[in-house]
Amino acid sequence: MSKILLKGNDAIVRGAVLAGCRLYFGYPITPASEIAEAAAKYIPQVGGTFLQAESEVAAINMVYGAASGGVRVMTASSSPGISLKQEGVSYAAGAELPCVIVDIMRGGPGLGNIAPEQSDYNQIVKGGGHGNYKCPVLAPNGGQEMSDLTQFAFELAEKYRTPVYILADGYTGQMMEPVEFGEPVSELPHHDWALYGDQESKFNLISSIYLDPEELEAHNQMLQDKYKLIEENELRVEEFMLEDAEYVVMGYGIISRILKTVVEKLRKEGVKIGLLRPITLFPFPNDKIARLSERIKGMLVVEMSNGQMVQDVRLAALGRCPVEFYGRMGGVVPSMQELLDQTKQFISKEN
């Protein structure tokens, strides 16, 4: 047995170090500070650099600089800090720089509070900064995934030369669960586009500038092709009891954990219900939802937001089945009983 019990925030950092990340730039903010603290503890011990930047703006631009050097680099923050990072993420997307950005979401808008919300879906999944870009978004719902998906995020980032987000909430960050860790990666890839401070790589240019509109259009088209490839190859979902389901509940992150218990309880009562949980939010399971919508009686989407992901679900379902929404905001996490009641109400309504 080689599991250890630890917080999701800690699992992210240890996973990142195993993935070869040796540079961390960040600015403290609750509830993501534990990630910075764990990074400050571990990364220098393995010969890397942890740097507390003067702001999130500076931190993401340090990430931009380090990523230009072809090394694995990350930053983490929470909602208000992510808003500030958006400038740098847009530049990194434009210059095609791989990096990993963690968002431990909190309540907004504005300073809001430090309780868990899921109201960053739009700013993270839809690009967030200026320009025609998106980033792959991974949404862990427990300790093991906090580590595994972080490691995967570095691979994904390099494979497609893009920033990748880990989108989680305060609960998933604070929760302790047993986590199993693998071996550290032994060799990191050499990138022919990166700058290593040597003669071989010096012709490389890291830039998001394409002055000529047609050239910029071609660059944008290339980015769109890349996103299409990501959509075709990198979708991850968890499907729970969907085979014969007449009703489907859908949620990501901590909500999916609560919904899973709801499904277990209702199955015991004989209700044919299942859970669809996106693990990647971009790419999004459009086709899965479309296919489900043809045969089920209805879908209930639960979020700790005003209803952001549900818009994508409705687009995918295209009116072929009712798509209902239940949300809590401000950092209120719905209880299992509350979601059980809501699901029952939704079922009786659709019947």
Partner 1 sequence: MASKILQKPEAFYKRYERNPSSDKKSPHYCPGCGHGNVHKFIAEALDDYNVADQTILISPVGCSVFAYYYFDTGNIQAAHGRAPAVATGIKRAHPHSIVISYQGDGDLAAIGTAEILHAANRGENITVFFVNNAIYGMTGGQMAPTTLVDQYSTTTPRGRNPHNEGYPIKVAELISQLEAPVYVERVSLHDTKNRNKARRAVRKALKNQIDNLGFSLVEILSPCTSGWKMDAVPSMKWIEENMVPQFPLGVFKDITDEVEPYERPEMDLSAQDIKKALGLEVVESESFEKPDFPNKYKNPEIKVAGFGGQGVLLLGAAMAQAGMLEDYHVSWLPSYGPEMRGGTANCHVNIRDIEVGSPMVTNPTVLIALNRPSLEKFENDVPEGGLIIYDTSLIDIEVKRTDVEVMPLPATKMADELGNTRTANMITLAAYAAYTGIFSKETLYETLNTAIKHKKFIDINKKAIDLGYEFGLKSKLS
Residue 303 Cβ, how far from partner 1 at the closest point, in Å? 16
Q: Considering the rule CB under 8 A, would residue 175 count as an interface residue with partner 1?
A: yes
Residue 2: other Cβ atoms inside 10 A: 8
| Of residues 53 and 149, the one with the C-beta less far from partner 1 | 53
From candidates 37, 87, 231, 324, binder to partner 1 by CB under 8 A: 87
| Of residues 70 and 278, the one with the C-beta less far from partner 1 | 70
Residue 293 Cβ, how far from partner 1 at the closest point, in Å? 25
Nearest alpha carbon to residue 77 among 50, 96, 57: 57
Residue 156 Cβ, how far from partner 1 at the closest point, in Å? 20
Any idea which residue has 């230009």 for tokens? 68
DSSP secondary structure letters along 15-29: HHHHTT--EEEE---
Distances 182 to 5, 12, 139 between C-alpha atoms, Å: 15, 13, 20
Which residues between 15 and 74 bind partner 1 (CB under 8 A)? Answer: 17-18, 23, 25, 31, 42, 45-47, 49, 51, 53-55, 57-59, 61-71, 73
Q: Considering the rule CB under 8 A, would residue 196 count as an interface residue with partner 1?
A: yes
Q: Considering the rule CB under 8 A, would residue 100 count as an interface residue with partner 1?
A: no
Q: Considering the rule CB under 8 A, would residue 150 count as an interface residue with partner 1?
A: no
Residue 335 Cβ, how far from partner 1 at the closest point, in Å? 4
Encoded tokens for 169: 């909430």
Any idea which residue has 């917080």 for tokens? 7
Which residues between 117 and 146 bind partner 1 (CB under 8 A)? Answer: 142
DSSP secondary structure letters along 245-287: -SEEEE--THHHHHHHHHHHHHHHTT--EEEEEESEEES--HH
| Of residues 92 and 230, the one with the C-beta less far from partner 1 | 92
Question: Would residue 164 be called left, alpha or beta, if left means φ above 0 and alpha means ψ between -120 and 50 degrees?
Answer: beta
- Which residues are CB-neighbours of 228 under 8 A, at least 6 positions away? none
| Of residues 23 and 29, the one with the C-beta less far from partner 1 | 23
Q: Considering the rule CB under 8 A, would residue 206 count as an interface residue with partner 1?
A: yes
Binding pattern for the stretch 299-338 against partner 1, x by CB under 8 A and - elsewhere: --------------------------------xxx-xxx-
